Chain A
Amino acid sequence: MSMIDIAALADIPREGARVVRTPQGCVAIFRTATDQVFALDDRCPHKGGPLSEGIVHGTQVTCPLHNWVFDMATGQAQGADEGRVATHAVQVRDGRILLDAARLTSRAA
């Protein structure tokens, strides 16, 4: 694990997301109504929609392009749709968001 300080929790609106740019593509950092934080690849496996722009409800997010719903903890598509988004370890400490960027910043990945 290589936890990198990304930003303050307060920089992300509740029930919203912000994006982190990485060499492996963008990662969406979500914050729920109860301050849970999740990190997912910002790319819907269906048609590549930016999940960071989806509506966040509970611990799920709905893709803005075609309404696929994902469990943010597992990355698993819900309901009849099949697919999975890669998730990344993320935690909040003293109001700062720490992202496990080992996989994201390695050139070989």
Chain B
Amino acid sequence: MTKNLVVIGAGMASGRMLEHLFEAAPGAFTVTLFNAEPRGNYNRLMLSPVLSGEKTYDQIVTHDEAWYEAQGITTRFGEAVTAIDREAQIVHGARGPVPYDALVIATGSAPFIIPVPGHRLPGVVAYRDLEDTNAMIDASRPGARAVVIGGGLLGLEAAAGMAARGAEVTVIHLMGHLMERQLDPAAGYLLQKDLEKRGIRIHCKGATKVILGQDRVEAVLLEDGTVYPADLVCMAVGIRPETRLANDAGLEVARGITVDDQMRTSDPAIYALGECTEHDGQLFGLVAPLYDQAKVLAATLAGDQAAFRPVQTATKLKVTGCDLFSAGDFADAPGREDIVFRDPGRGIYKRLILEGERLIGAVMYGDTADGAWFFDKIRTGADVTADRDTLIFGPAFAGGAPSDPLAAVAALPPEAEICGCNGVCKGQITRAIEGGATTLDAVRGLTKASASCGTCTGLVEQVMALTLGDGFAANANPPMCKCTDHTHEDVRRLIKSMGLKSIPAVMQELGWTTVGGCASCRPALNYYLLADWPLEYRDDRQSRFVNERNHANIQKDGTYSVVPRMWGGVTTPDELRAIADAADRYNVPMVKVTGGQRIDLLGVRKEDLPAIWSDLNDAGMVSGHAYAKGLRTVKTCVGQQFCRFGTQDSTGLGIRLEKLLWGSWTPAKVKLGVSGCPRNCAEATCKDIGIVCVDSGFQISVAGAAGMDVRETVLLLTVATEDEVCEVTAAFVQLYRENARYLHRIYKWVDKVGLDWCREQVSDPATRAALHDRFMLSQSVFQTDPWADHAARPAEWSPIADLSLRAAE
């Protein structure tokens, strides 16, 4: 006797299950198939090619009317199931009940909709079924504007599809890089670059605040204030298992419908399958494990033994022209090692993750041809120790002789191109070396090899090593840190010449050998980027040393010191009262006058920082940046207003300079002094920049120091007016900001580049004005009081949780 099998949901998993079932147990079941969509099963994975116009709906149908009829399946498409009566074993549909002996719930998943205001407006769609796809196709006329919320797999396929139809597409993604669940930041960066090349605008770290519109969607407003006009909004931020029916029927549901290894729910007559299930705490979204489930369930229903064991899955993005592959586990974790391969010129990035002798994960971008080969290694857990040296080169290299990079260069013919930018071949370099060029600079000077983008520097050095043998001494200027072979100077030059505008971009394009840099290179890169791209780059707080991240100086016991700015060392009774009140209120253990003419409150607890800043802000004071690689203080003497020897208003000039320069980030700290006469009471001649007022005007001298090295300043220029002092000082600081390496004080940098060169730059009126303008542009962004910004969010400065009370309970 045949049994009644009812299946709710005609998706890919249930379709596959029915195929297996009819094969294993033909005629054993009379099947009724419900589907909420008014159609049968189609290949949902192929909706993206339908959206982009590369396929039609008819081409992606997997089971047509004829198939259902041939199998004797009663189809109830477009009909919602309203309830499951487990007692009576009856499924209630909108058009009548059906009894069952066995029931399969395969309701799939529902798109997650962010409940922001406006999410119900017409024109806001998800991306799950043919209706959504058709809505997007209709809206994607050339010139139409579409916003996709969510930069994951689905969102990007939606974006690419609409862009291919001519729409102007913007993707808003909450995270720092695209597809963060499948890709690491470097691969995410390459993907973003490729998508931007095809005109898709990408906005990472963007949180949607409101979807705007009267009768239908008109625009999307983000938390940061950005507004993107939109004729259509596609929300693709994720999916959740569709469990409402199972919930109502009282089945056991966690995040998904709980199933055992046989796909059985908590009711032995009811099974579940697909994206709506949860097995052993795990949810499923990719098709491979769902097909495995289908096979297991068909066997179970046919009375055979089978057990579901989830397997590894791999992800590929179905966007034509974006080659991307990720498989296995690629998160950083203990005992794991990375093998990284980057070919910046071709936009190729490959990363393998090893644990012990096994390959456990792979991320690839640009060239994914070997994906299947790596995936197989991950799945089988094969021992890869013996192949480790050449593993990243894939199957083509497997078993071959280990390669020696020097041997590879040696094998190049003389006409092989080494420097692509300048078209320099190996033979030209060899001839230059044989002609007497024994240093990299000399070779660069003679041949131009590695003189443009510089990425071939390593190759040029290898040619030199081969030609000179033991006579070759590698570049005396050491690399920036252990993460790279490039020097600080090379990195600064390449950031500008290659237009690199983020830390992941620098690490990718310049071939960083570590995943996230180190405590030495990250602050340097952050500085270089914000100095070179003041308008485009956003400061990365996590790449800053603690003092700059917390805008206070950490002390040996973990407390902080707080120094408000005191312009030119001048204060008022009100400011002093406010400082005294703050010291009392926050139990400041020590109040000290600093060498830079201001007052230091020492021993403040981290969680009190926002409150003490807020109090000082209220009294009109801002951060003194006593912690910054930036402008610290401008020390002054009293000047002509009170002093019988004073020749100029040194106090007023000091205040003016401090108001001009404060807030600017520099490679290392910058201190100024302004003395009103050559008696030099402000000790201006041992500062980074010192101004000495004389009867005829102002002597601007630079490159002093009074730290581990003690140096007297040297005269840069003498000028006649305060205005000129300000313009020259700003221009000189900008010259330093643009050219010095991180952590080099002005005196070290001037030693390297020469005072004459600096003088030439700031003496030439056009160059000086341009430097001054670039400085002011940067100040338009960075001259803000960080205390005021952070005092507004005090919660972030306190412990995230307090368990000290639990013990007492």
> Which A residues lie at the B interface, using CB under 8 A?
4, 6-7, 11-16, 18-23, 26, 29, 32-36, 47-50, 53-60, 62, 64-65, 67, 69, 71, 73-74, 94, 99, 101, 104-107
Contact = CB atoms under 8 A, between A and B. Distances in A.
A82 B550 CA distance: 28
A80 to B, nearest CB: 14
Contacts of A55: 518-519, 522-523, 542-545
B801 A56 contact: no
B804 A15 contact: no
B330 interface: yes
Contacts of B543: 15, 55
Given A13-B541, A55-B543, A74-B334, A19 B800 contact: yes
A64 B627 CA distance: 13
Interface in B763-809: 799-804, 806-807
Given A53-B549, A58-B332, A58-B515, A21 B799 contact: yes
Contact of B802 (A21, A34, A67): A21
Given A15-B542, A59-B333, A73-B335, A6 B184 contact: no
B208 to A, nearest CB: 15
By Cβ-Cβ distance, the 6 closest A-B pairs, closest first, are A73-B334, A62-B519, A18-B800, A64-B546, A15-B542, A53-B546
Given A55-B519, A57-B516, A58-B514, A16 B542 contact: yes
Interface string B536-554: 0000011111100110001
Given A7-B801, A22-B804, A15 B516 contact: yes
A57 B558 contact: no
A21 B556 contact: no
Given A14-B542, A47-B556, A57 B800 contact: no
Given A54-B546, A65-B554, A4 B803 contact: yes
Given A55-B522, A58-B332, A64 B545 contact: yes
B519 A36 contact: no
Interface string B239-255: 00000000000000001
B518 A62 contact: yes
Contact of B519 (A32, A35, A54, A71): A54
B799 A20 contact: yes
B807 A58 contact: no
A55 to B, nearest CB: 4
A23 B556 contact: no
Contact of B184 (A20, A34, A71): A34
A67 B520 CA distance: 9
A36 B546 contact: no
A81 to B, nearest CB: 14
Contacts of A59: 332-334
A6 B325 CA distance: 35
A65 B514 CA distance: 23
Nearest to A16: B542
A65 B802 contact: no
B333 A20 contact: no
A65 B333 contact: no
B516 A58 contact: yes
A57 B803 contact: no
Given A7-B800, A18-B799, A53 B550 contact: yes
B53 interface: no
B185 interface: yes
Contact of A107 (B518, B556, B807): B807
B800 A20 contact: yes
B568 interface: no
A14 B504 CA distance: 14
B801 A32 contact: no
Contacts of B395: none
A35 B175 CA distance: 11
B45 interface: no
Interface string B325-362: 00000111111000000000000000000000000000
B335, B549, B799, B806: residue with the most chain A Cβ atoms closer than 10 Å: B799
A36 to B, nearest CB: 5
A64 B332 contact: no
A59 B550 CA distance: 22
Interface in B493-534: 514-519, 522-523
A7 B800 CA distance: 7
A47 B331 CA distance: 31
A33 B334 CA distance: 15
B176 interface: yes
Contacts of B801: 6-7, 20-21, 99
Interface in B104-163: none
A29 B558 contact: no
A69 to B, nearest CB: 7
A59 B423 CA distance: 41
Nearest to A5: B801
Contacts of A62: 518-519
Contacts of A19: 799-800
A104 to B, nearest CB: 6
Contacts of A16: 541-542
Given A35-B331, A58-B516, A73-B335, A13 B554 contact: no
Pick from A4, A6, A34, A50 the residue with the most CB of B within 10 Å: A34
A64 to B, nearest CB: 4
A104 B799 CA distance: 15
Given A20-B801, A53-B546, A53-B554, 6 more contacts: A20-B803, A32-B331, A35-B331, A36-B333, A48-B558, A57-B515
Contacts of B330: 34
Q: Most chain-A Cβ atoms within 10 A of its Cβ — which of B331, B519, B522?
A: B519
Contacts of B517: 57
Nearest to A8: B800
A106 to B, nearest CB: 7
Contacts of B519: 54-55, 57, 62, 67, 69
B803 A29 contact: no
Nearest to B549: A53
Contacts of A71: 334
A57 B514 contact: yes
A78 B333 CA distance: 15
Contacts of B335: 73
Contacts of B799: 18-21, 26
A60 B367 CA distance: 30
A22 B805 CA distance: 8
B755 to A, nearest CB: 33
Nearest to B800: A18
A33 B185 contact: yes
A50 B515 CA distance: 24
Nearest to A10: B174
Contacts of A65: 554, 556
Given A19-B800, A20-B800, A71-B334, A56 B554 contact: no
Contacts of B800: 6-7, 11-12, 18-20, 29
Contacts of B803: 4, 20-23, 101, 104-105
